[in-house]
Chains A and B, each alone.
Chain A
Amino acid sequence: MNVADPPGLSRDTEQVFAEPWQAQAFALVLALHARDAFTWREWADELSRELAAAGPDDDGSRYYDHLLATLELLAVRKRLAAAAELSARKAAWADAYRRTAHGRPVELTGEPSP
């Protein structure tokens, strides 16, 4: 195992977030915590469980996948959103992406999927 960064990345030159969704998910965690949707101890405990389930070979590259899964779980458990509501909204966004022409902003229209 080599846990060291590639040469040249040992200072703070690496990107904080590899993709925009990671930044959005992280910001959602902080914003919901800031309005007391959950305590930081609850957050850390749940994230720890998620990371432990990822197993001993988890190399950290899927950290934000685990963060998002933890956030979805807490959002439902804390009744910030119902599980069905969240699933429906994911389907609606997936549908909107499919229907949107390349280069146009993706928007939910509320129309049923074809």
Chain B
Amino acid sequence: MALRVKALESLMVEKGLVDPAALDALVDHFEHKVGPRNGARVVARAWSDPAYRTRLLADATVAIAELGYAGGQGEHVVAVENTPSVHNLVVCTLCSCYPWPVLGLPPVWYKSAPYRARAVIDPRGVIAEFGTDLPEDVEVRVWDSTAEIRYLVIPRRPAGTEGLDEAALAALVTRDGMIGTALL
């Protein structure tokens, strides 16, 4: 596989189609600059600041950019909020669409055929495999990401966290919580 990439890359560089420095910068960005910590900050802000929460639900792309997160696969993000009666779960049934600016690149299981198929057919079963049995009276909504729209789940704020500041709240937010496969 390394040889195949090397072959394509060297041809693209020779033809002036890509700049090697730009490739290095892209790798650095995805290895070090984006990841679920960004999304956790967004969620913590939404929990702490009702006006921000309103903006996030109205236009997540703009609200996320307020915190400095933008770029590829973040052009149209929709935030969906968990409530006592509704739980949201995100999938990309066809490939691997995912809100990179706030969550980084998706975990391996998100890209697996079983998750992509079963999240739609049996979302409660999938969530149970991740360790959570949702109460029967909670409605599960499944959001299928596309090349144009990606979703971010705003988990419910855990009880007993009233006194925590944003940084402490952000530390409670997990990647799986923002995909919807786990509760906090």
Chain A residues with CB under 8 Å of chain B are 1-5, 9-12, 14, 16-17, 19-21, 23-28, 30-32, 34-35, 37, 40-41, 43-45, 47-48, 51-52, 54-61, 63-65, 68, 71-72, 75, 80-81, 85-86, 89-90, 92-94, 97, 108
Residue in A17, A31, A55, A85 whose Cβ sees the most chain B Cβ within 10 Å: A31
CB distance from B23 to the nearest CB of A (A): 4
Q: Interface 1/0s, chain B 1-34, versus A by CB < 8 A?
A: 1111111111110010111001110110011000
- By a CB distance below 8 angstroms, the chain B residues around A30 are 26, 72
| Contact, CB under 8 Å: A89 / B11 | yes
Which residues of B131-152 have CB atoms within 8 Å of chain A's CB atoms? 131, 146-148
CB distance from B20 to the nearest CB of A (A): 10
| Contact, CB under 8 Å: A68 / B4 | yes
| Contact, CB under 8 Å: A58 / B112 | yes
A58 with B113, Cβ < 8 A, contacts A1-B118, A11-B175, A51-B95 known: yes
CB distance from B141 to the nearest CB of A (A): 19
- By a CB distance below 8 angstroms, the chain B residues around A52 are 94
| Contact, CB under 8 Å: A16 / B105 | yes
> In the complex, A14 Cα to B12 Cα: how many Å?
30
CB distance from A84 to the nearest CB of B (A): 12
Chain B residues with CB under 8 Å of chain A are 1-12, 15, 17-19, 22-24, 26-27, 30-31, 35-37, 72, 94-97, 104-105, 107-118, 126, 129-131, 146-148, 174-176, 181-182
- By a CB distance below 8 angstroms, the chain B residues around A25 are 1, 5, 8
| Contact, CB under 8 Å: A93 / B3 | yes
| Contact, CB under 8 Å: B18 / A31 | yes
A12 with B27, Cβ < 8 A, contacts A71-B8, A81-B15 known: no
A3 with B36, Cβ < 8 A, contacts A21-B5, A23-B27, A23-B31 known: no
Residue in A24, A51, A57 whose Cβ sees the most chain B Cβ within 10 Å: A24
CB distance from B170 to the nearest CB of A (A): 12
> In the complex, A25 Cα to B18 Cα: how many Å?
12
| Contact, CB under 8 Å: A94 / B109 | no
- By a CB distance below 8 angstroms, the chain B residues around A19 are 1-2
Residue from the list B11, B31, B95 in contact with A86, Cβ < 8 A: B11
Residue in A25, A34, A89, A97 whose Cβ sees the most chain B Cβ within 10 Å: A89
